[in-house]
Amino acid sequence: MKKQLIFLLCTLFIFAACSQDRKETSVANDANSVYQLNSDWENQHSQQMKLADLNGKTVVMAMIYTSCKTACPRLTAEIKEIEKGLGNYDPKKVRLVLVSIDPETDTPEKMEEYLKLNDFVGEQWLFLRSDESSTREFANVLSVKYKQISPIDFSHSNIISVFSDRGVLTFQKEGLDSDVSEIVGEVKKQLRNS
Amino acid sequence: MKRLSLFIVLFTAVLTSCHNRQGVAVKEVPAVSPQILNPVETDKKMLTIQGGSYLGFLGKDSGRIVEVKSFKIDEAPVTNAEFLEFLKKNPQWTRSKVSRLYADDAYLHNWKSDYEIPDNAKPESPVTNISWFAAKAYAKSVGKRLPSIDEWEYAALADEVSKDASGKAEFTQYILNSYQKKGMYKTSIKQQKPNYYGLYDLYGMVWEWTEDFNSVMISGESRGDSSQNESLFCSGAALTTSDLTNYAAFMRYAMRGSLKADYSVNNLGFRCAKDL
């Protein structure tokens, strides 16, 4: 009788845990989650991925292009500052993501080279590219504007975005200035909540 | 002992099923994506626009020759009736189901219900109050795409008798006059005379979404853009337009620059385009 009771309790417990799991995995369906975007992306290792593959991580993201000589190096420097500001963090829980607005030029080789050049090494660093249409769509989700102004130059908004572990946009930093404390605070908050 | 082994077997079974379900739940994410669309049939007439070049209006394109490849474009804006067909096949885009990521709360707000067009509009009126995401999804569902700004502007250079009427003062005046008419979006398409190519209602009915509307960076929304762009609109913005008399084009770019992709606006619609 006792054994039966334990059995019953165990089963219930497992079922409960199970349904909780399901809840967690299906929240990528959040009405505001960018993980609804079904576009195909390629990272610096030439691996194909979906945005939903970032599910479960707190994400910091900026849209740049590797041949950029003006604003992007400053945006990249800010990302570096943000990463420093996080102090000791679990690289499994964070993704620092650069997204190319020049997918034709930014091949996986170029993206990897760019990351290495900036000492962006480790599983938490990602550089993504997609096709032009999906890139523009993603930019629109972030309210990022950009325009190709010559074969090698783009003008673009300088926005760094933070996403919760469920892909919901929670914070955007606009413009170029060196103060990253607010955005660092937001990332830390997201990490605590995740 | 028997009971114990039964217990273990059950335990494993539950765990396995649990894992399976978890896997399925994760995979479901793309499956519910509003971007996975059911195809929609359309017999809307498209016209071929022969490629060419035109003088760019703004910023770095100001005074520059912009090349446009040949393309096809709908002869008129997409109507309420046509959009309704799309909604019936793709209910994830109805007012009650649309994701907030893709449309603000003004999306189709004037419709009576998910499948009933507005009282004060006709089935043949252009659909409005649709976001850029919705317009893009519609275009995809009928096997088309949205036109680029350059394609739209190039096709819209034509008056009734010539391909390029941009030099004619009366054409500019006609456009400006048409922009002053109010409530035209409630009327039926194709009531005005078509232009040289046979395109209807480019002016005076609705503003139209373009694929790359977010390449126009002239509003406060483009916040702290990179330095190349500063000359675009700050201080002497209007001075960079290639043709100061082309105030009409300036208005269209200002409109595009003020939009975000989830905005739904009363007099903003769209038409589709296609590669040749």
> Pick the residue with more confidence: B138 or B238?
B138
Q: Let me know: does B142 contact B272? Beta carbons within 8 Å.
A: yes
> Can you give the residue ranges of every domain in chain B?
46-275
Model pLDDT, residue B195? 96
> Pick the residue with more confidence: B36 or B48?
B48
Pick the CATH number of B46-275 from 1.10.3470, 2.20.28, 3.90.1580, 2.30.29: 3.90.1580
Distance set, CA A35 to CA A5, A46, A168, B96 (Å): 42, 20, 8, 20
String of b and e for B6-22 (b: at least 16 CB within 10 Å)?
ebeeeeeebeeebeeeb
Paired sense of beta strands A41-42 and A125-128, if any: unpaired
B124 has a chain A CB within 8 A of its CB: no
Please give the single-letter amino acid code of residue A48: Q
CATH code, domain with A121: 3.40.30.10
The alpha-helical segments, DSSP class H, found in B118-274 are 132-141, 149-155, 169-180, 230-233, 247-258
CA dist B125 and B46 (Å) reads: 18
Q: Which of B80, B141, B89 is nearest to B111 (CA)?
A: B80
B222 has a chain A CB within 8 A of its CB: yes
Model pLDDT, residue B16? 43
* Beta carbons within 10 angstroms of residue A1's beta carbon: 5
Q: What is the mean pLDDT of chain A?
A: 85
Please give the single-letter amino acid code of residue B5: S
- C-alpha torsion sign, points B3, B8, B12, B14: positive
> How large is the average pLDDT for residues B122-148?
96
CB contact under 8 A, A140 and B28: no
A residues 149-188 lying closer than 8 A (beta carbon) to B: 149-150, 153, 155-159, 174-176
Please give the order of strands across the beta sheet that includes A169-174: A125-128, A94-100, A58-64, A159-163, A169-174
Model pLDDT, residue B100? 87
Domain-located, residue A173: yes
Phi and psi, residue A20, nearest 5°: -65, -45
Q: Is the pTM of this model over 0.90?
A: no
Domain-located, residue A44: yes
CB contact under 8 A, B226 and A4: no
> Could you give the 3-state DSSP secondary structure of residue B160?
coil
Domain-located, residue A2: no
Q: Which of B251, B269, B124, B134 is nearest to B190 (CA)?
A: B124
The structural domain count of chain A equals: 1
The owner of tokens 């126009």 is B216
> How large is the average pLDDT for residues A156-183?
88
Domain-located, residue A8: no
Q: Which domain holds residue A151?
A: 33-193
| Contacts with B18 from chain A: Cβ below 8 Å | 14, 17-18, 21
Model pLDDT, residue A20? 40
Please give the single-letter amino acid code of residue B147: P
Please give the single-letter amino acid code of residue B187: T
CA dist A51 and A126 (Å) reads: 12
Model pLDDT, residue B236? 35
Q: Let me know: does B189 contact B79? Beta carbons within 8 Å.
A: yes
- Render pLDDT for A97-147 as a digit per residue (tens, 0 to 9): 999 999 999 999 999 999 999 999 999 999 999 999 999 999 999 988 888
Q: Is the pLDDT of residue B107 over 90?
A: yes
- Render pLDDT for A12-65 as a digit per residue (tens, 0 to 9): 444 444 444 433 334 445 778 899 888 999 999 999 999 999 999 999 999 999
Q: Is the pLDDT of residue B19 over 50?
A: no
Q: Let me know: does A126 contact A97? Beta carbons within 8 Å.
A: yes
Domain-located, residue A5: no
Site from B66, B219, B229, B262 to mutate, A interface, most A CB atoms within 10 angstroms: B229
Domain-located, residue A24: no
Please give the single-letter amino acid code of residue A173: K
B145 has a chain A CB within 8 A of its CB: yes
Q: Is the pLDDT of residue B120 over 60?
A: yes
Domain-located, residue A174: yes
CA dist B149 and B240 (Å) reads: 18
Q: Let me know: does B194 contact B75? Beta carbons within 8 Å.
A: yes
The interface pTM score, or ipTM, of the predicted complex is: 0.72
- Render pLDDT for B72-83 as a digit per residue (tens, 0 to 9): 999 999 999 999
Model pLDDT, residue A58? 97
Model pLDDT, residue B234? 31
Report the gap between the CA of A149 and the closest CA in chain B (Å): 6
Selecting from A14, A17, A140 the residue whose C-beta is nearest the C-beta of B132 gives A140
